[in-house]
Amino acid sequence: MARVGLPVFTHPACLAHDTGPGHAERPQRLGAVVEALREALPTLDWREAPRATRGQLLRVHASSLLAAVLETRPDARMQLDPDTVLSPASAEAALRCAGAGVAAVDCVMGGEAQAAFCAVRPPGHHATGEHAMGFCLFNTVAVATAHALDRHGLARVSIVDFDVHHGNGTQAIFDAEPRVQYLSSHQMPLYPDTGSPQERGVGNVFNVALGPGTGSRRFREAWQDTLLPAIDAFAPQLLLVSAGFDAHWRDPLAQLQLEADDFAWLTHELVALADVHALGRVVSLLEGGYDLQALRECSVAHVGALRA
């Protein structure tokens, strides 16, 4: 059972982002997560996500991207790329997503809670500094990380990304920033075809590529042998998590074979490292995951383990 009062930041605007019929990144994803968490973990502290400010977004995004997402104001759905949709309600959803991450960082840095979860959509980790892509409008975990660095003066922040797709946008935004460590396990080959182990940034990037069909044993070995020791050596003052659940065996967009227990195991390991180095401070943001039953099971396993 999660600790009483674990904050969960969300907003109804995230459900109104309209990607159209048949799109994998649909409102029902977030509905399934919220419903499952409310049923399984009734003591969670549900909070309304605020809007991110332009200044918070501009720490990691170009003004041209802000203009495209916030000022286009389409009357109907329009494609920003073959996968990424802008609808009349998308700007508000994107602002609330990014604002959730900022508010969650302020919450844990202010000592209100040790950990927080952001139940938001659309996901964010593919968005680069200049471009929306891969279902993502703004890079929510990057906005939250930059806020932690600038507003709270942190010197070391680790971003953990276990989404089945490599977080190319997050890596690109921070690959020359030694205060930020980016660590990812992901399927390869798979969209966006980045994230080889040779991509090291300034020594702050750690990628483990997993082949199709990889199951629990290899996934846990990747974290236990490579990625968790790298976090331990970096000694972060805050951990941020890109929590995608599309490495689950049910997911229709990838071919890894993980179970909900794998996400619970990794979350426990991350919390243990946060307890050692970061006063227990962990902020997690929902990323991918496109099977509703898997989303239900995995979100409960993850959030339950955040403060078990």
Whether the bond between 252 and the residue before it is cis, its omega within 30 degrees of 0, is no
Tokens of 60: 């990691």
Respond yes or no: is residue 186 known to be catalytic.
no
d(Cα 157, Cα 300) in Å, to the nearest integer? 25
- Residue 215 and residue 154: Cα distance in Å, rounded? 35
| C-alpha distances in Å from residue 217, one per residue of 61, 175, 224 | 37, 29, 10
CA distance 184 to 257: 17
Q: Which residue has the tokens 């069909």?
A: 213
- Give me the amino acid identity at 170: T
163-195 core/surface letters (b: 16 or more CB in 10 A; e: else): bbbbbbbbbbbbeebeebbbbbbbbbebbbebb
Which of the following is catalytic: 17, 61, 125, 126?
126
Instruction: Give, for 182, the enclosing helix (H) or strand (E).
Output: strand 180-187
* β-bridge partners, 74: none
Task: Tell me the sheet residues that pair with 161.
Answer: 184, 242
DSSP category for residue 214: -
Cβ contacts of residue 22 below 8 Å, gap of 6+? none
Catalytic positions, written as ranges:
126
